[in-house]
Amino acid sequence: MENSGTEVLRQGAEARVYKTEVSGNPAIAKQRFSKKYRHPDLDRKLTRGRLNQEARSLKRCLESGIRVPKVIRTDKDTATLYIEFIEGPTLKEWIFDNTDEDKEKELMSAVGKILYQMHSNSIIHGDLTTSNLIVDKQGEIVLIDFGLSQISAMVEDKAVDLYVLERAFISTHPESERLFAAVLQAYESQDPAATAATMRRLEDVRQRGRKRDMTG
């Protein structure tokens, strides 16, 4: 059973995330909000759909050998997903505090390899930022927050996933072009032939993004 003591970690438009305990072990609970403007039946269907999709994506990642939190259980009545608590700073925090260039290169390479592995298993994260990557106590990368994830083998979806992360690097970590470049290099090097179409589409997505920025 959950411990009544909780610590709110983050609250957004879609869900509240808090630290709690399940069977005496630290855990993360992510409770999705209902949308009052939607019909109650539709709201329940959509909320449960997103809850189940997040759990499925996490389980698919684990089955594919990708480091993500383990799913403890889902509570459909309260629209809450309980997952393993991963101790460690976010990659965002780690980058701000880091002074070790060799470790930086190692972590960026690890991110690229993980994203390739994820995409090669048709998993689209949907919200890739440096806040959704954890550097655990072993110094390894763990992907979190699959609330906007989907299962897709489409090149467009993979390219947009990478573009979202690139924009996150640009907006959060000024003058960090080398970081995302290292991520892409590792991603592409896993299988240049398999990633070629995604890399080409990424450039298309970038051009569309620049046009939007110019026109507002």
Which sequence spans correspond to the domains of the chain?
7-84, 91-215
Closest by Cα among 176, 16, 204 to 104:
176
Check residue 72 and give its pLDDT: 96
Q: Can you list the positions of beta strands (E) in 86-162?
A: 123-124, 133-135, 141-143, 150-151
End-to-end CA distance of the chain: 50
DSSP state, residue 69: P
The reply to whether domains 7-84 and 91-215 share a CATH topology is: no
Please identify which residue in the block is written with the tokens 């855990």: 27
pLDDT at 216 over 60: no
Check residue 43 and give its pLDDT: 79
Catalytic residue among 100, 102, 127, 213: 127
Q: Quick: pLDDT tens for 123-148.
A: 999 999 999 999 999 999 999 999 99
Check residue 211 and give its pLDDT: 73
CB 158 within 8 A of CB 138: no
pLDDT at 2 over 60: no
The alpha carbon of residue 73 and the mean position of all alpha carbons in its chain are separated, in whole angstroms, by 19
pLDDT at 3 over 90: no
Please identify which residue in the block is written with the tokens 């299962």: 151
- Cα separation, 99 vs 90, in Å, equals 16
Check residue 5 and give its pLDDT: 55
Check residue 4 and give its pLDDT: 45
Please identify which residue in the block is written with the tokens 């709110």: 8
pLDDT at 6 over 80: no
Check residue 93 and give its pLDDT: 96
- 7-84: in CATH 1.20.1260.10: no
pLDDT at 45 over 50: yes
Class of domain 91-215: mainly alpha
Closest by Cα among 139, 119, 138 to 128:
119
- Is residue 127 annotated as a catalytic residue, yes or no? yes
Residue 201 confidence class, pLDDT cut points 50, 70, 90: very high
pLDDT at 181 over 50: yes
* Long-range contact pairs involving 43-52 (C-beta distance under 8 Å, separation at least 24): 47/79, 48/76, 48/79, 50/14, 50/147, 51/76, 51/79, 51/80, 51/81
